[in-house]
A = this chain, B = another copy of it.
Amino acid sequence: MSEHTYRVTEIVGTSHEGTDAAIRNALARASQTLRNVDWFEVVGTRGHVENGVIGHFQVTVKVGFRLEDAGS
């Protein structure tokens, strides 16, 4: 059926390197347990600071994935 339904889940990826790496880590982890991941949207960027330097970046992403029909 071509009228797909999607679910959106919220994931926080972290990285010592930067914001893009945190996004990539979030998506990599999401893809371990979710099939058909289709898009993401960044909804927040935060981070922890330790001794005056950034310990890690924390990027919150909404991740959309296509639901398969429950009956199939």
**Which residues of chain B are within 8 angstroms of A3 by Cβ–Cβ distance?**
14-16, 25, 56
Closest B residue to A10 by beta carbon equals B8
A interface, size bucket? 35 or more
Q: How many copies does the complex hold?
A: 12
Min distance, Cβ A18 to any Cβ of chain B, angstroms: 4
Interface centre among A5, A6, A7, A25 (most CB of B within 10 A): A5
B32 and A71 form a contact (CB under 8 A)? yes
Chain A contact residues, CB within 8 Å of chain B: 3-16, 18-20, 23-29, 31-33, 37-42, 44-49, 52-54, 56-58, 60, 62-64, 67, 69-71
- For this complex, 18 residue pairs linking A to B, each with C-beta atoms less than 8 Å apart, are A3-B14, A3-B15, A5-B25, A5-B29, A6-B14, A7-B11, A8-B12, A8-B60, A19-B19, A20-B57, A24-B54, A27-B49, A29-B70, A31-B49, A31-B52, A32-B70, A38-B49, A40-B54
